Amino acid sequence: MKTWAKMACVGVLLWWHAPNAATLDQQTVEDARIFLAGYLELNNTKNINLLPLYADEAEINVTVVTLDREVRTLELNGRKWKQLLRETWYNGQPSAEPMQLHDIKIKPISGEALEINAHRYALGRCYWDNRYRLVIAKDAKRYRIISETLLIHHHNQCEQPETTIVNQEITITPAMEPRQ
């Protein structure tokens, strides 16, 4: 697994704040941590096993900023979202981008459902989605995504370095003369 994927998974395990622990029981906290760590790992490695995490009836709201700076809003159900992810992966197009979640806040909203709000950082194109929202609900003893709201910005905002510096340690080992 790539270093950034490991860092993202480790980051999820360190995010829980005291207010969340006070409003949720320990098992719910642990289940949510496990779900988010798995979700990030599957997303960040573009693993097809990400798709079953979405309920077919999930509500996916995507705001897309195109290269021409045009803003489009898509509303898809989980079945269509999974189909779109599958098609873009197989076509080599960008879709579910590697990401990190920061300032994660989780609150119970009803029954077994949890609302997750976070600042999402897209690693591939270096932009922030400050209104990222994910709702998960327990379905047959495991969480599934029933709602997601995200921003996809097609303009690469990563800054290119002014200079390229390559740090290398070069060791020269003198050739040994043959023994006689």
Specify the number of domains making up the chain: 1
The torsion angle over the Cα atoms of residues 133, 138, 140 and 146, rounded to 10 degrees, is: -30
The pLDDT score that the predictor gives to residue 164 is: 52
Range of the domain at 124: 3-153
pLDDT at 77 over 90: yes
User: Domain for residue 177, yes or no?
Assistant: no
User: Domain for residue 59, yes or no?
Assistant: yes
Cα–Cα distance measured from residue 98 to residue 7, given in angstroms and rounded to the nearest whole number:
11
pLDDT tens per residue, range 18-73: 444 447 888 888 888 899 999 999 999 888 899 999 999 999 999 988 888 899 99
Closest CA to 29 of 15, 42, 39: 15
pLDDT at 5 over 90: no
CATH number of the CATH domain containing 76: 3.10.450.50
The pLDDT score that the predictor gives to residue 16 is: 43
pLDDT tens per residue, range 106-160: 899 988 899 999 999 999 889 899 999 999 999 888 899 999 999 888 888 887 6
User: Domain for residue 167, yes or no?
Assistant: no
pLDDT at 91 over 90: no
Output the CA torsion sign for 86, 90, 94, 96. positive
The pLDDT score that the predictor gives to residue 19 is: 45
Alpha carbon distance, N-terminus to C-terminus of the chain: 49
User: Domain for residue 27, yes or no?
Assistant: yes
More confident residue, 162 or 23: 23
Pick the most confident of 9-18, 71-80, 97-106: 71-80
